Amino acid sequence: MGRDVFYITTPIYYPNDVPHIGHGYTSVAADFLARYHRLRGEEVLFLTGTDEHGLNIQRRAEAAGIDPQAWVDEMAPRWKEVWAGLDIAYDDYIRTTEPRHEKAVQRLLTAVHENGRDDIYLGTYEGLYCVSCEAYYTEDELVDGMCPIHGRPVERMVEENYFFRLSAYAVRLLEHYETHPKAVQPETRRNEVLSLIRGGLQDFSISRTNFRWGIPLPWDPNHVCYVWFDALTNYITAAGYGTDEERFARVWPADVHLIGKDILRFHAVYWPAMLMAGGVEPPDQVWAHGFLTVGGQKMSKTNATGIHPFELTEHFGVDSYRYYFMREIQFGQDGSFSWESMVDRHNADLANGLGNLASRILAMLGSSFDGVVPEPGAQGVEDDLPALIADVGRRYDEHMSELALSQALAAVWEVVGRANGYLVERQPWNVAKDEARRAELAAILYASAETLRILAILIGPIMPGAAQRLWDQLGIEQPLDAQRLPSAAAWGGLPPGTKTAKGDALFPRLDS
């Protein structure tokens, strides 16, 4: 069982689309979690990638007058650029057009096809099809005769398809979710999934003959594999399924598939059933977050509400961007984005909060001790800071383990608030005027700088750039990325004698 590695995935994105901050939302959350687990000293596999097959892609390539492979080769780097700009440190980037993926898909299909239960069978499909969704709709799902998502005309299609016998898996799925209560989260999504399953499951089509841009079915290459058997399988491909069984045993099952709620059914109903049929364990957890909304609607390219992440990072910086979305929105719920609230968060929590704290402390160390961290000296002067930090460390872990990402950050910012309050109470700028209170001043500034050190470690997963800049200003010899929780956050780790150097403001204030 894959318990050796913390394995986290995002969905694979359609490379046709231009990335917007809705896509960025899934990826930033996954990166925040992945970095947190690395900070805990765990081996992490963080997977993202692009979903490169299908009629939609084939048509876009035709329109561009190039073959589909050339088209996706052109598109995939655009996504990688965005992830680089958002400091998304994935360990593996999968493209479903890679040979390793073709192998895995064919292997899973074969395993299901040959499982002796007739779980894949040939049937005919007739329905109303939206090319953009790559999905069929029933009459009453249409809005004014158009696709409910894209508002575009649907096409009547009749074809011979292979089907997957999802209907045979209801009981096993319910059993699985009863014995694994955390396998779908949050709780509202779990309930949704349970009622979907209880409502009755229909077999779904897994192949197409009306286009070629896909992975051929091993037993009938006139058919190409259609959407979900191709896309979902990426998660086991990257773990080594079909190519490296030893690695697969170490990595799989995934700890968490992080997704948006629109693709919950596929991840929490189709996917575990497909795996069961193929003799593979289901993932430990599917965690479905909400939507970034604009005017109450899901932000998307098709309704022209997609904002490119770089439009925001240019103004706010990538750290502030990452912090805002993870702090402002309760992870799991929908959330709206506004420029004003982003400016407010930036100024309150970052510029006036953490940034101001760091600059005050580093300035005082500079003026009173030539920047050199003094001995902690007198006990007790640190007040409740060590106890608060220990408590926050525990709560941070708890929240991260439940993906209560906003609460985790709120807990860390309790330390920021308390440390700013500590300075106001202890008044080091006044203490510094009295030569007789030198030991007290040393103790206050040691406690303050030690708090900054721990903060730099705790904010690393959400704001890797700012954490590093703060660490550099603190002048600590050991590298930041060698720090490991929980030991690195234990009080007293800052070596006296460390040469700090106040630098540029961590977060310049923004005009609203």
For residue 2, give every residue at least 6 positions away whose Cβ sits within 8 Å of its Cβ, in sequence order, or none: 239, 248, 249, 250, 251, 252, 253, 254
When binding is defined by CB under 6 A, the residue of 29, 47, 109, 259 that contacts ligand MSP is 259
Tokens standing for residue 338: 């506004």
**Cross-strand partners of 482:** none
Tell me, yes or no, if 53 is annotated catalytic. Answer: no
Tell me how long the chain is.
512
Marked catalytic residue, from 23, 37, 346, 399: 23
From the CB of 257, what's the least distance to ligand MSP, in Å?
8
From the CB of 454, what's the least distance to ligand MSP, in Å?
32
φ, ψ of residue 162 to 5 degrees: the values are: -85, 145
When binding is defined by CB under 6 A, the residue of 2, 8, 26, 95 that contacts ligand MSP is 26
From the CB of 229, what's the least distance to ligand MSP, in Å?
10
Residues of span 29-58 touching ligand MSP by CB under 6 A: 51
When binding is defined by CB under 6 A, the residue of 240, 260, 376, 464 that contacts ligand MSP is 260
Please give the size of the binding site for ligand MSP, defined by CB under 6 A: 22
Residues of span 286-315 touching ligand MSP by CB under 6 A: 291-292, 298-300
User: Under the criterion CB under 6 A, does residue 90 sit at the interface with ligand MSP?
Assistant: no
DSSP states along 343-378: HHHIIIIIIIIIIHHHHHHHHHHHHHHTTBPPP--S
User: Under the criterion CB under 6 A, does residue 72 sit at the interface with ligand MSP?
Assistant: no
From the CB of 351, what's the least distance to ligand MSP, in Å?
27
User: Under the criterion CB under 6 A, does residue 13 sit at the interface with ligand MSP?
Assistant: yes
For residue 387, give every residue at least 6 positions away whose Cβ sits within 8 Å of its Cβ, in sequence order, or none: none
User: Under the criterion CB under 6 A, does residue 323 sit at the interface with ligand MSP?
Assistant: no
When binding is defined by CB under 6 A, the residue of 130, 231, 459, 463 that contacts ligand MSP is 231
**Cross-strand partners of 146:** 143, 153
* Distance set, CA 79 to CA 75, 94, 321 (Å): 7, 12, 17
User: Under the criterion CB under 6 A, does residue 362 sit at the interface with ligand MSP?
Assistant: no
What is the side-by-side order of every strand in the sheet holding 155-164? 135-137, 120-130, 155-164, 204-205
Which one of the spans 156-164, 227-235, 339-347, 361-369 is the region binding ligand MSP (CB under 6 A)? 227-235
Tell me, yes or no, if 225 is annotated catalytic. Answer: no
Instruction: State the angle between helix axes of 21-39 and 405-426 in degrees (0 to 180), rounded to the nearest 10.
Output: 70
214 Cα distance to chain centroid: 27
DSSP states along 471-510: HHHHT-SS-GGG--TTGGGSTT-SPTT-B----S-SS---
Name the site residues for ligand MSP (rule: CB under 6 A): 11-14, 17, 22-23, 25-26, 51, 231-232, 234, 259-260, 262-263, 291-292, 298-300
User: Which residues are marked as active site?
Assistant: 20, 23, 130, 133, 147, 150, 298, 301
